[in-house]
Amino acid sequence: MALAGVKGVRIESGFATDKDLFAMKQALMSAVLLSGLALVSTASASRGKDVFVPGQPLQQQIARIEVELKDGETYSELKQDERTRVNDALARMRAAVEQYPARDSMPEPVQTQVFNDQQVVNTVLTQAREDSRLICQREKPIGSNRTTTQCMTVAERARQKERAQQDMRQVMRAGSTVN
């Protein structure tokens, strides 16, 4: 395929036909679409999943959650009042499961209470798991060429940021240094 250039000079295209150009565009669009789908699936996979998994025995899940609560790592940023709230909900659920081993034998009010307790546990522990996630960053301290690794949980970073903002507000208001 020839194109008209400056002063009648013919410029040759690298594509032999329009069919080749169409195939190239189609391949490029397919690659863009696949990369977009990969990003979406990665983003949805990284969202916090519920603590209770449907279809698995409730007693086993309660036992797993209790072990994770006690390990000191999985939910390290869980506040004491939230920990008490989760433990109370787990105790109510355990009592209901022990009294009614088959879900079909549970009366409807008990099923509703178990469902509500599951939602409480899911909500509190999903947020705690996110806050307890450890993020490490390599930094060079001022005046040094040696990099160090600084690891903090998401909640620790948020507290540090909030503290720095408070210090800056105080300095801006008072015009003095913060101790």
pLDDT tens, position by position, 20-31: 667 667 766 665
pTM for the full model? 0.55
Q: How many Cα atoms occupy the beta-carbon half-sphere of 74 within 13 Å?
A: 14
- Token couple for 173: 């208001």
Helices 80-99, 58-70: inter-axial angle, 10-degree rounding: 160
> Do you know the residue count of the chain?
179
- Token couple for 87: 């433990």
pLDDT tens, position by position, 58-111: 888 899 999 988 887 788 888 899 999 999 999 999 999 999 888 788 899 999
Q: What is the spatial distance between Cα 101 and Cα 110, in angstroms, rounded to a whole number?
A: 12
> Where do the structural domains in the chain lie, given as residue ranges?
2-45, 58-131, 135-174
Q: What is the pLDDT of residue 43?
A: 39
Q: What is the spatial distance between Cα 48 and Cα 129, in angstroms, rounded to a whole number?
A: 8
The enclosing H or E element of 20 equals: helix 18-46
